[in-house]
Structure 1
Amino acid sequence: MSITLIIIIITVLVSYSALNNTKIDNDLIFYPTSINYSRQWYRFFSHGLIHANYLHLGLNMYALYLFGRTVEEKFTYTVFQEKGKLMFLLLYVSALFFAALPLYLKHKDNSGYAARGASGAVAAVVFAFILLDPVRGIGIILIPVYIPGFIFGFLYLGLSAYMDKRGGGNIAHGAHFWGSVYGLAFVIIMASLFSDYPVLRMFVEQIKDYFHLS
């Protein structure tokens, strides 16, 4: 069984339990003040196991299913080989922390702030996919229009940064942005340390081929 599928199964089970049990939700949710004052560091990771509602859960797990399988396969057969599955798990788990870290620094004294969901980690997986396969088309759910991944990524980062600066709403756009950036950084750094696969050179070569540049 793939790591992607295992993560999805665990997340669905825990999220379902939390949606039907307020105590579970409160115990796992991302409360920056609980981390700051009570040192409940586990919340950096546990918040990725719960979601605001079934739509939130469904969208995140659907995206993880679509992109996670491909990234896991590329990690296993192309980039890291025998370390591939471990690296994929490390990418996902560590992205939960690094995507939430800016939120913690911003809201660590704000007792009214809380967040939940795996969006930051899923964004990291999506951008790892874009880095490894930048010209494959990516579309928006229910809209039959696909654009190359590297263009989608550029637009997504710009929109996430804008929406985070604008503020308001119930979506943690900052987690999306930093999760995406972390996904890129993770693959580049880890590949340089544990692989001979030239990630950046292959990224550039694929885009050059897309534009038919020599």
Structure 2
Amino acid sequence: MGNLSIVLLVIIAANAIISFKGFSDFAFFEKYKFSVGGILRGEKFRMFSSGFLHVDMGHLFFNMFTLYIFADIVVSYLGNLHFLIVYIGSLLLGSLLSFYFHKNEYHYSAVGASGAVMGIVYSAILLQPNMSLYLFFIPIPIPAYIFGIGYLLYSMYGMKKQLGNIGHDAHFGGAIGGYVITLMLASWLFKEHLLMIVLLAIPIVLLFVLKKLGKI
């Protein structure tokens, strides 16, 4: 992992330490989780702190393992500092989109690094759109950009149908964060991967059009 190891280890350690504290301290978990009611009371810090809390070990492991898989691609292209900017920016964008969609649901709450992790995943997809990804239930490789488009469409469907106990909007917001911030930091992508940039933008534009029309 080279130079990434320190940055990645700090992020994983922060997630692990804060999550383990939350596992055993209900008051701590309640104070720092994403909570629409809390945010409306002025506790904006929840938009950041909730990204380091998880509901259980499985949730924590899945997010950190996914981060580990994709982090090296982002840092190799953008460097450690910009990797961190993509991670934190995506975390905040995920929280902001969640708040945007649930601002009228006073008791809505959520936790997890999924928004930040999805930002890193989408940053990696932009940087290497033709890399192959394997899904557990599909034994054939899928081009990264097709996975990216498909996942955003699935997230939109999940938001509309409120599928499972999953923050689909945070995932989508994190992906938008990774997409936008990466393009700001690596403008050369417009020259090398313009078609992929346009294709990956379609679900993002579609989300806000459907929201405007009241379909989501």
Q: Same fold (TM over 0.5)?
A: yes
Which residue of the partner structure matches residue 46 of structure 1?
A: 49
- Is residue 193 of structure 2 the alignment partner of residue 182 of structure 1? no
- Please report the RMSD computed on the Cα atoms of aligned residues, expressed in angstroms: 1.9
Q: For 2:123, which of 128, 133, 139 is the aligned residue?
A: 128
Which residue of the partner structure matches residue 8 of structure 1?
A: 12
Which residue of the partner structure matches residue 163 of structure 1?
A: 158
Task: Give the Cα separation in 2 of the matches to 1:26 and 1:184.
Answer: 31
Q: Deviations over 1:43-101 (max 9, x none)?
A: 1110011111111111100000000122112112xxxxxxxx22111111121111111
Q: Number of residues paired by the alignment? A: 193
- Is residue 70 of structure 2 the alignment partner of residue 67 of structure 1? yes
* Residue 107 (structure 1) shift: 2.5
Task: Give the Cα separation in 1 of the matches to 2:6 and 2:195.
Answer: 29
Which residue of the partner structure matches residue 200 of structure 1?
A: 190
Task: Give the Cα separation in 2 of the matches to 1:109 and 1:205.
Answer: 37
Identity among equivalent positions (%) equals 33
Contact 1:133 1:149 in 2 (8 A): yes
Taking structure 2 as the reference length, the TM-score comes to 0.83
Contact 2:89 2:178 in 1 (8 A): no
* Residue 190 (structure 1) shift: 2.6
* Residue 105 (structure 1) shift: 2.5
Task: Give the Cα separation in 2 of the matches to 1:109 and 1:65.
Answer: 35
Task: Give the Cα separation in 2 of the matches to 1:107 and 1:30.
Answer: 11
* Residue 162 (structure 1) shift: 1.1
Instruction: Flag structure 2 segments of 5+ consecutive residues without an equivalent.
Output: 198-216
Change (3 A) 1:162 1:168: closer
Contact 2:134 2:142 in 1 (8 A): yes
SS of the residue 2:110 aligns to? coil
Q: Structure 2 counterpart of 1:60, which letter?
A: N
Which residue of the partner structure matches residue 82 of structure 1?
A: none
Taking structure 1 as the reference length, the TM-score comes to 0.83
Task: Give the Cα separation in 1 of the matches to 2:196 and 2:102.
Answer: 40
Task: Give the Cα separation in 2 of the matches to 1:147 and 1:3.
Answer: 29
